Amino acid sequence: MVKLTNIKNVFRLYKSDSSTFESTFYDLISGDNETKQTKGLAYLFSVYPGLISRLLQNKSISTLLKNKVNVNFKSLESSDLVTIDAEMLSNGKPIIRRDITITFYKDNKKLLLLVIEAKSIKQNDVGDITSQLLSYFDPTSFPSDVNVPKIGITLSKYRHIFDNDKHYFVSLTWMEVIEILNDVLALIKEESILQKRLIREYLKFLLEVDGGMKFYEKEVLSVPAAGTIQQITQYDIHSCPNSYSYKTPLYIAFREKGGYMDTLYQIEDIVVINPNNPSYEVIIDKSNLAGKERVKRYIEDRRANFGFERDIEYRFYVLSKKKNIRLVHRPRISGLSGHCYFSLSELLNGHVDVVVESKE
């Protein structure tokens, strides 16, 4: 008998008469990148149940389970069946498609339903995600889930805040999922070769979808802020419409009149809120947002002075008060009205006139 041990094997999938050097399981999944992300994550839940346990331990989800849904974590651990459905279809018309549905059973009874709406890792503005999640729990569309405890989970690039007095919704970011997958990798035993390989391939796929993103996409984002610089520096908060297609930076620098920048701010948190919602203060208070008091004061100040232009969601950047870099030479860029990106080395080299790395 021939023993093929310690031999590297390579799988290649050919498309249009060509292939990548080494294809993965996720190249077999049909659809665009967003569909592959969703189906791939659902499959990981099915091959490694420990990933579901790790998901339940997320602070926002575990708090909802305990305080709102009233489902005991230990009862979920004693489930005798957990089903994972990708792209589950509703009854009747119009057809509603749930991205990922995780259902816990005990003695043929449904204990809990987790429904995940997964947006692309690259997508900034996800639209009215609350309405989407509500449609997944519509009793007419999904009659078999009536009276079953449910949690809706949105998976997106940026974190959203929901009013959980009305709905049991949780926001997770793709970066949190990447961190969970990395944590899980460390717990899987070495002999579980397939599980480790699938998780590593999925992580590789996610990072390639977002252009090599790790913990940030660009080193420094620079935005014009002459109109709101007073509020930014007073509260260490910046906001912009969530439709703005900024890449996630390691630092953010604000350009004053003349294009000057004097500080590189490290970002502690990014969250999406509608500041024109009459209940925005209550929603923020009940969240685990870093710097929530600063965010509320910033919103109040800006509403009274500069204002929020439209009744839309805004993205709020919570800036560090300590982990910042002073730019004593005050680098500048002239003749540019929109956002741009710099390398750290360009802004720290001591030159006043600096060169933009990219504008996209």
CATH code of the domain covering residue 235: 2.30.130
Identify the domain containing residue 238 by its residue range: 218-348
How do the pLDDT tens digits run along the chain, 360 residues long? 555 555 556 666 676 555 555 667 777 777 677 788 889 899 999 988 889 999 998 888 888 888 888 887 888 888 889 999 999 999 888 899 999 999 999 999 999 999 999 988 877 777 788 888 989 999 999 999 999 999 999 998 888 888 767 778 999 988 888 888 888 887 777 767 888 888 888 887 776 665 544 456 788 999 998 888 888 999 999 999 988 888 888 899 999 989 999 999 988 888 888 888 888 888 888 777 888 899 999 999 988 887 787 778 899 999 998 888 899 899 999 888 899 999 988 998 888 999 999 887
Residue 245: per-residue pLDDT: 85
Q: Is residue 12 part of a domain?
A: no
Pair (54, 185) in one structural domain: yes
**112 and 238 inside one domain:** no
Closest CA relative to residue 48, chosen from 192, 190, 154: 192
Q: Number of C-alpha atoms within 13 angstroms, CB side, residue 284?
A: 24
Classify 77 as helix, strand or coil: helix
Same domain for 288 and 162, yes or no, is no
Same domain? For 88 and 165 the reply is yes
Q: Classify residue 151 by burial, with Cβ atoms within 10 Å: 0-12, 13-18, 19+.
A: buried
The pLDDT of residue 10: 61
Per DSSP, the three-state class of 90 is coil
Give counts: helices (H), strands (E), the chain: 11, 15
> Domain for residue 11, yes or no?
no
Check whether residue 294 and residue 182 sit in a common domain.
Answer: no
E strand map for 197-245? 218-224, 237-241
Same domain, 226 and 253: yes
Given this model, what pLDDT does residue 22 score?
Answer: 65
- In terms of domains, do 156 and 189 share one? yes
Does 193 share its domain with 247?
no
Same domain for 25 and 132, yes or no, is yes
Whether residue 3 lies inside any domain: the answer is: no
Residue 5 belongs to some domain of the structure: no
Residue from 199, 151, 185 nearest 171 by CA = 151
Residue 356 lies in a domain: no
Written as one letter, the residue type at 302 is R
Q: Tell if the pTM clears 0.75, that is, is over it.
A: no
Claim to verify: residue 29 and residue 168 sit in the same structural domain: yes
What total number of domains does the chain contain?
Answer: 2
Name the domain boundary from 209, 238, 259. 209
- End-of-domain residue from the set 184, 209, 234: 209
Q: Within this chain, do residues 203 and 62 fall inside the same structural domain, yes or no?
A: yes
Backbone phi, psi, residue 122, to 5°: -100, -10
Give strand pairing partners of 97. 89
Say if 7 falls within a structural domain: no
Whether 358 is covered by a domain: the verdict is: no
Question: Are 158 and 121 found together in one domain?
Answer: yes
pLDDT recorded at residue 160: 87
Task: Give 282's DSSP letter.
Answer: H
* Residue 132 covered by a domain: yes
Residue 7's pLDDT is 59
Burial call 108-140: b when 16+ CB within 10 Å, e when fewer: eebbbbbbbbbbbbbebbbeebbebbebbbeee
**Of 209, 234, 251, the domain-final residue:** 209
Angstrom CA distances, 291 to 216, 285, 318, 325, stand at: 21, 10, 7, 20
